[in-house]
Structure 1
């Protein structure tokens, strides 16, 4: 079995770059996954692993071999150099990234989609992906993405749901054109010219669109909307966390669809 015990090993140095640099992930077409559950979800989602590394003090070799036929044993120093979290299961994998373009997006005949414009915080992206997974959405589209979706913070905050959802990215104008071409109704969560969300019919092909908590959706979305929608609030503020707002909309749509 191959063993690596030096943080100066060229392969280990390349993995550090995958952790830290979006450019390295894009150039290599690979990214790092940390944790047994996340790796298992990636495999279940059809992602290919190029390598798997394990620290035997935490992860026995037998467990590593269940996930990869040729795991690489590493020591404490190497593991701590690569591990992004303070406490994990002593296992990491190098996975091949996927084509996240709109052209690669396969949808059913009557899709229910979540669109998020310019989410900046990895925690919010992860929460949106977890909500989408819980609801069994047909796709999540990130418009004008501000973060690399294979960023370790996104993978971590999604608890592996980056692998369980069908995900695509594109510019706002590209996503709007894609939805219109597919005859998917666009429901934009915004304060302007909006009607209560529960009054709309989401049983036909629908996209639920949310923006940032700070500025909301940009004008092109409000102009393109089939209907602008709002979640009525009874408190003193007029906004809530984007993932919470998305969950309210998504599960109303799912309720209407009989799920």
Structure 2
């Protein structure tokens, strides 16, 4: 039982709140029964489980250390408003190869909730992979992980140079769709080809011009009311389901 927040192990767990420390250790923290169960079922490596005193550990049949801590210590490492009393240290998974015919490319998505929701929606819509370009929020940010609701463990998510990836996709016969309002066509008026890569851009600035120039189609979602634009995660959902439809 760890009772002090000054314990070295507790300090190391708290360091995982920072991106630099996650990268250095190649591990990240997750919280709650659902996320841990999703990670186990998807065969991600659980290095350690942290259990608040009085919390019952499910019979997950995994081979890792379990450390019990006091409520005060757990509050120190928790980043949720209503902690469930269970957390885990998870090892990064080696970046998986991108296969499949439906790929999502994200250019500088900065809001953690948006990124997590987009990954969750890509998983639900049956997209094959998500590629994160430069300027996109860290995949293992706790808010991103929570917003994926476990989809981070289901669908390959890679961090790459988008310019290079777009070139590879074009050579592989993909049609590149970019979401933008100007010089664009309504998405439902376009013919969906057998291989589509969809690019979505930054919440404020949109997709960078260099990526728009490489697109085969610039698509928009018509707005019938007075709103100026759609939230990027909502737009992602509409377009991905249309493409897969």
Q: Give the Cα separation in 2 of the matches to 1:209 and 1:199.
A: 18
2:39 corresponds to 1:42? yes
After superposing the two structures, state which structure 1 stretch, 130-139 or 21-30, moved more: 130-139
Count, aligned residues: 245
CA apart distance, 1:242: 0.3
Q: Give the Cα separation in 2 of the matches to 1:98 and 1:115.
A: 20
Q: Conserved in 2, the CA contact under 8 Å of 1:213 and 1:240?
A: no
1:91-123 per-residue CA deviation (whole Å, 9 max, x = no partner) reads: 1101101234xxx42313xx1122221000001
- Residue 123 of structure 1 corresponds to 113
Listed as ranges, the gaps of 5+ residues in structure 2 are none
Listed as ranges, the gaps of 5+ residues in structure 1 are none
- Residue 85 of structure 2 corresponds to 90
- Residue 141 of structure 2 corresponds to 151
Q: Give the Cα separation in 1 of the matches to 2:19 and 2:167.
A: 27
Query: 1:18 and 1:180, CA in 2 relative to 1: closer, same or farther beyond 3 A?
Result: same
Q: Conserved in 1, the CA contact under 8 Å of 2:53 and 2:71?
A: no
Q: Conserved in 2, the CA contact under 8 Å of 1:51 and 1:71?
A: yes
1:136-172 per-residue CA deviation (whole Å, 9 max, x = no partner) reads: 2111111224321111111112222211221111133
Query: 1:91 and 1:68, CA in 2 relative to 1: closer, same or farther beyond 3 A?
Result: farther
- Residue 13 of structure 1 corresponds to 11
- Residue 184 of structure 2 corresponds to 194
* TM-score of the two chains, using structure 2 as the length reference: 0.93
Task: Summarize the alignment of residues 238-257 of structure 1 with structure 2, pairs less than 5 Å apart.
Answer: 238-255=228-245
2:22 to 4, 21, 25: 25
Q: Give the Cα separation in 1 of the matches to 2:191 and 2:53.
A: 54
Q: Conserved in 2, the CA contact under 8 Å of 1:52 and 1:68?
A: no
1:135 to 125, 136, 155: 125
Task: Summarize the alignment of residues 209-224 of structure 1 with structure 2, pairs less than 5 Å apart.
Answer: 209-224=199-214
Q: Give the Cα separation in 2 of the matches to 1:64 and 1:151.
A: 28
Q: Give the Cα separation in 1 of the matches to 2:65 and 2:205.
A: 48
2:98 corresponds to 1:106? yes
Structure 1 stretches of 4+ with a deviation exceeding 6 A read: none
SS at match of 1:71: strand
* TM-score of the two chains, using structure 1 as the length reference: 0.88
1:63-111 per-residue CA deviation (whole Å, 9 max, x = no partner) reads: 26645553111111111111110213211101101234xxx42313xx1
Q: Conserved in 2, the CA contact under 8 Å of 1:51 and 1:68?
A: no
- Residue 60 of structure 1 corresponds to 56
Query: 1:69 and 1:96, CA in 2 relative to 1: closer, same or farther beyond 3 A?
Result: closer
Q: Conserved in 2, the CA contact under 8 Å of 1:22 and 1:148?
A: yes
